[in-house]
Amino acid sequence: MVGSVTLTFSDQIGTIEFSHPKGNSLPKALLIKLADTIHEAGTINDLSVIILKSAGDGAFCAGASFDELADIDSPEKGTEFFSGFAKVILAMKNCPKLILCQVQGKAVGGGVGIIAASDYSLANSSASIKLSELNLGIGPFVIAPVVERKIGTSALSTLSIDASNWRDAKWAFDKRLYNDVFDSKSQLEEATMKLASQLSKSSPEAMKELKSVLWEGLESLDTLLKTRAELSGKLAQSSFTKDFIKQFKK
């Protein structure tokens, strides 16, 4: 498996870090590993809060693997492909621990979905975002429910329809995707650890109940995401998407 997902923990704080040489993108194997690791962290009694981050100083997450998207040759494989981020989102939702997302750089597509599925996100000022799916003839269907939950329908429409342009960290903060934005990565890391340390001293039961309240209204998210993955898998077979991939490879 190219890339990695690691879980470390100390003083009741768990840190999950994912990495991939292509902009911390997340192919299927890494998505499954990330979902499993989040689930594992949720079962550790001595762990009170989780920090989710990616490796390096570059992009936070370049989204799904474009190489794997190009290899889709049936609706079934398409559904399986788009179910990867659904599994991660559901693992984050169902995890009984609060998840802090530390965003050091740009996020595209599914990377934005991961940020939105966190319970609190802290970002560097360079952490611009973009939903480019419509350019591929698809759409951000799988991640849309959690993104809309955070930023609302109007801002989701802006990102989804204007699929070519980046929105900077200030825009994401103003729309409440980011809870805090910092001028440097060192400030970001310090603030993330400070908040995690504060939460590690809070009541685990109270934090678990708070998370349940924050996710109210999305109790049937698993069913919705399955439907959305099927829709995306179907559209990935369109001539528009196939032609786009051919041109991109050229």
Indicate the pairing of strand 98-103 with strand 129-130. Answer: unpaired
Question: Measuring CA to CA, how many Å separate 79 from each of 55, 127, 129?
Answer: 28, 29, 25
Query: What would the two tokens of residue 150 be?
Result: 């955070």
With contact defined as beta carbons under 8 Å apart, do 99 and 118 qualify? yes
Which of the two residues, 243 and 62, has the higher pLDDT score?
Answer: 62
Does 181 or 238 have the greater pLDDT score? 181
User: pLDDT tens for residues 131-151?
Assistant: 999 999 999 999 999 999 999
Q: Has residue 250 got a pLDDT over 80?
A: no
Query: How much is the pLDDT for 249?
Result: 66
Round to whole Å and give the CA distance between 121 and 67. 29
3-state class (DSSP) for residue 8: strand
pLDDT of residue 243: 86
- Which residues on neighbouring strands pair with residue 50, listed in sequence order? 14, 99
CA distances 104 to 44, 122, 144, Å, are: 27, 9, 22
Question: Within 13 Å, how many C-alpha atoms sit on residue 21's CB side?
Answer: 2
pLDDT tens digits, residue range 80-106? 999 999 999 999 999 999 999 999 999
How far is Cα 133 from Cα 108, in angstroms, rounded to an integer?
A: 9
Domains located in the chain, CATH noted: 4-186 (3.90.226.10)
Spatial neighbors of 224 by CB under 8 A, at least 6 apart, are: 145
Span 5-64, pLDDT tens digits? 999 999 999 999 999 999 999 999 999 999 999 999 999 999 999 999 999 999 999 999
